[in-house]
Amino acid sequence: MIDSYKKQSLRVFGNVTDRYIGGFDSLKPHLRGANLSFLLKAWVSMLLMTTLIAYLVSFMLFVFFGLIFELDFVTFIYYVMFAPILVASLTFMVMYIYPMQKAKSVRKSIDENLPFVLIHMNSVVSSGIPPEFMFELLSGFKEYGEVSRQAKLIVRNIKTFGMSSVNAINHVAQRTPSPMLREILSGISSTIEKGGDLPSFLKTMSEKALFEYRIKREQYTRTLSMLSDVYTAVLIAAPLMMLTALVMMNLIGGDFFGLTVPDVIAMMTWVIIPGLNIAFLAFIHTSYPRV
């Protein structure tokens, strides 16, 4: 289905894409890094096709609902003119940003697992197993996430495309979105090509990766200690003081920015405080160092 959609998009927007593809060159490395099996021209054509479909579908829906709900003429024209443009713009942005976010997710998964993968690689190579079999072994460990997929690409290059070990590794090194993995793969290929000591190289890189892992953990621990103080002050002490002040205001009468005191208390209890707690937890989750 995706292939037929791609072909249709190229048929409709291929010429337009050829004319303006230079403006989308920044997407090319992200498409490679995200392991999306699309050429830049195909992706841009699909982006334009999806944007057009989103505009037409939203236009028809807004016309339909405008007639159903009998909106006044000015409101109806406003929604029909501007709402589909907004939907199409959001669709364009999502399609444009998706490869970047996907590549970022791949990089994050690689960097999360790389310190432990290097230890595994070092132990495998130290036992005398050739590098190509080392990557084949790694490709079977789903626990290593995107690193396993990168290893599968190296194995595919060797077994399916007939590349040498060095060329297969270099090919994946050029496409990976992780600078750390690119450095390691380039070092492995260079060591193999020059007949160097691969176990020694992997041991050095694993020690470096583990050192960086410990440093980032220690930094996060200090940051978490500071955030706990901020949480106590902003999301525990401050709301309690605010609620106490509102209760006193309710006893003596008055309002708060046009709202009654009970309404403000209800808003704080059911909307503001839970919302701030959710935002704080989301920040903790996104800032958690996984490497």
Q: How far is CA 193 from CA 187, 198, 216, 248, in A?
A: 10, 11, 34, 78
pLDDT classification of 143: cutoffs 50, 70, 90: confident
Name the more confident of 124 and 285: 124
How far is 4 from 119, CA to CA, in rounded Å?
Answer: 44
Same domain, 66 and 149: no
pLDDT classification of 290: cutoffs 50, 70, 90: low
Q: How far is CA 28 from CA 8, 38, 89, 169, 255, in A?
A: 21, 10, 21, 20, 57
Among candidate residues 211, 237, 270, the one where a domain is terminated: 211
pLDDT tens across 97-135, in order?
999 999 988 988 898 889 889 999 988 888 888 888 899
Q: Count structural domains, the chain.
A: 3
Name the more confident of 209 and 259: 209
Least confident piece of the model among 93-107, 173-187, 203-217: 203-217
Least confident piece of the model among 43-57, 58-72, 96-110, 187-201: 58-72
Among candidate residues 49, 81, 104, the one where a domain is terminated: 104
Average pLDDT, the chain: 87
pLDDT at site 238: 85
Same domain, 73 and 129: no
Same domain, 146 and 183: yes
Same domain, 89 and 114: no
Q: What are phi and psi of 255, to 5 degrees?
A: -130, 180
Q: Which H or E element spans position 255? A: strand 255-256
Judge whether residue 178 has pLDDT over 60. Answer: yes
How far is 257 from 67, CA to CA, in rounded Å?
Answer: 39
Judge whether residue 254 has pLDDT over 70. Answer: no
pLDDT at site 260: 79
Same domain, 238 and 191: no
How far is 243 from 166, CA to CA, in rounded Å?
Answer: 67
pTM passes above 0.95 = no
Residue 234 per-residue DSSP state: I
Structure token digits, residue 1: 């289905």
- Average pLDDT for 226-251: 83
Same domain, 98 and 124: no
Residue 56, domain extent: 2-104
**Given the DSSP bridges, would you call strands 259-260 and 255-256 parallel, antiparallel or unpaired?**
antiparallel
Among candidate residues 145, 177, 211, the one where a domain is terminated: 211
pLDDT at site 249: 78
pLDDT at site 145: 86
Same domain, 10 and 53: yes
On whether the CB atoms of residues 62 and 80 are closer than 8 A, the answer is: yes
